[in-house]
Chains A and B, each alone.
Chain A
Amino acid sequence: MKPPRRLGSLRALWRDAPAARGLLPLAALLVLWQVLQPNPSPYFPPPSLWWEAALRLGSRARFWEALGATSVYFLLGLAAAIALGTAVGVLLGQSRLAARALGSLLEFMRAIPPPAVVPVAALLIGYGAAMRIAVIVLAAVWPVLLNVAAGVNRIDPLLMDVSGTFRLTAAQRIRRIVLPAVVPALLLGIRVAIPLAIVVALLVEMLTSLPGLGALMIESQRNYQSSEAYALLVLVGLFGFLVNHCFAAVEAAVLRRWPPRRFASS
């Protein structure tokens, strides 16, 4: 898996476009919506009603519990996916045999879309915390695994020979050679994994009505609380936006410590 260049190119495009005027079409759309739809419509409630619904939601303890549950399971699932993906990725990246032996099986498992796994996991593990985390891991582990495997695989064998010549200890070798190769790849994998983990965390809640933002969204739809459904849509979008931005900040800080290196073999 190469770095998603489309993201990079979008970032490059982004740089020549200051933010405020770029928000104009979205703002215009919302204003038009508000102006053309002054009555509370059951289908297209105007944005002012979304705001009121959001305030209503914010005053309820259930909303905060749901937000907490979704965040906790998202983070737990993501952490488990990172741990598992890094471990298996290092194994696959180091050993040609392991990559060949496990490759087909992993490729097959990766092809199964996460939503299809939800009923299976519910039936096998039952409705609970373990199932939620398992499903998130199953969706978010692949980008981490593949990127780490590629990162380890890219380490120039020459560097390992040099470390032998210099009689580096295992700890030094990991710190000076393996980490600089793996960290940028790992970060890239996590960046791809985050949106997947959010989507699956919400999806599990929607499908099983276990407490969380996803369950609240489905509930508002079932009760025909359309302004609440729109408000939750915006809030979930905001959640994704914030998580992505926080991670971007972490990523920038870590990359300053371990800048991506070019290796001779790549």
Chain B
Amino acid sequence: MIDLARLRWGRNAPGLLTALLCVAAWELVLRAGWLQYENLPPPSAIALGFVEIVRNGQLASDAAHTLQAALAGWIVAIAAGAPLGLLLGSSLLARRYSLASIEVLRPVPGIAFAPVALLLFGFSLRMEAAVIVLPAVWPVLVNTAGSVAAVHGRLHEVGETLRLPRGAILRKIVLPAAAPGILVGARLSLALALVLAVIAEMVGNPNGLGYALVREQQALRPDLMFAYVIVIGALGALLNAALIRLATGVFPFASGPLQESR
């Protein structure tokens, strides 16, 4: 089965070659003046722009702000989504009386909450957190509920045969069995949180990487803007990889399901 993520850079000579060729062609076409694009900087200018924002410390402070907001929103989303998911996954009654509501609320595009959050909280970190939390809670909730409900009935029976109290069954049997699925939800949620933080900063809170993009666009510094775009992409990939690494370290037996459904 094809998996683009598995074609690692180092071991993939044709891939590296194509990427290098594209970058070289981009540089050459602009340098030679074959293509005139006022706002398209050549890769070398983007690299210099990257050095510039690293040197003057702007990148560090912008990235710190965005990361802080994304992580805070993510933690709140997990804190709210996991217990709710646990409840929904383990109780048929709770499912019956709430699943339809969730199905109605879940397809609301997350971004649609931004204007309302802006209205409630103004230009602030709280607004950013609100924009992040509402959409980021769904992957955690749905994956937790799904994987808790999917724990095999026989495992429950084992717990009952051993006369474990309900709390112990939950702690010792259900949670470990459902953990990989919950982690998938957490990972999807983190990726979402980063994107939403950037969106919130572009629409509202004038801080962080998202605002930096808009700022450099308006300052007509496309080189810096491209540098920020690449940093945002790299940050997302890095967070994702870190979480996979962490999860496979904690649950070595569950590497398969952890990598599915991006």
Contacts and interface: CB of A to CB of B under 8 A. Distances in A.
Interface of A: 1-7, 9-10, 13-14, 16-26, 43, 92-93, 97, 99-108, 110-120, 122-124, 146, 149-150, 153-154, 195, 198-199, 202-203, 206-207, 214, 217-218, 220-221, 224, 226, 229-230, 232-233, 236-237, 240-241, 244, 266
B150 to A, nearest CB: 6
Describe B's contact surface by its main secondary structure. Answer: helix
B81 interface: no
Contacts of A107: 4-5, 7
Given A13-B99, A117-B229, A6 B22 contact: no
Given A5-B146, A115-B198, A207-B203, A233 B113 contact: yes
Nearest to B16: A104
Nearest to B119: A221
A113 B22 CA distance: 21
Given A103-B7, A233-B108, A10 B145 contact: yes
Contacts of A24: 97-98, 101
Contacts of A1: 260-262
B92 A220 contact: no
Interface residues of B, number: 78
Contacts of A218: 115, 203
B7 A113 contact: no
A153 B7 contact: no
A153 B39 contact: no
Contacts of A20: 100
Q: Output the residue of A115, A146, A150 with the most chain B CB within 10 A.
A: A115
B105 A101 contact: no
A116 B232 contact: yes
Contacts of B37: 124
B217 A101 contact: no
Contact of B96 (A3, A17, A92, A116): A17
B112 interface: yes
Interface in B227-248: 228-230, 232-234, 236-237
A221 B7 contact: no
Contacts of A93: 2
B80 interface: no
Contacts of B147: 9
A245 B230 CA distance: 36
B65 interface: no
Contact of B142 (A2, A10, A206, A229): A10
B175 interface: no
Contact of B101 (A26, A202, A224): A26
Contacts of B237: 111
A195 B142 CA distance: 16
Contacts of A114: 195
A202 B100 CA distance: 25
Contacts of A207: 202-203, 214
B99 A14 contact: yes
Nearest to A114: B195
Q: Which 4 A-B pairs have the closest CB atoms?
A: A22-B100, A237-B108, A104-B15, A9-B146
Given A14-B103, A115-B202, A119-B214, A100 B109 contact: no
B40 A221 contact: no
A96 B217 CA distance: 39
Interface in B207-235: 210, 213-214, 216-217, 222, 225-226, 228-230, 232-234
Nearest to B198: A115
Given A9-B149, A17-B95, A123-B222, A4 B4 contact: no
Contact of A103 (B15, B104, B110, B111): B15
Contacts of B64: none
Contacts of B49: none
A108 B237 CA distance: 9
Nearest to B201: A115
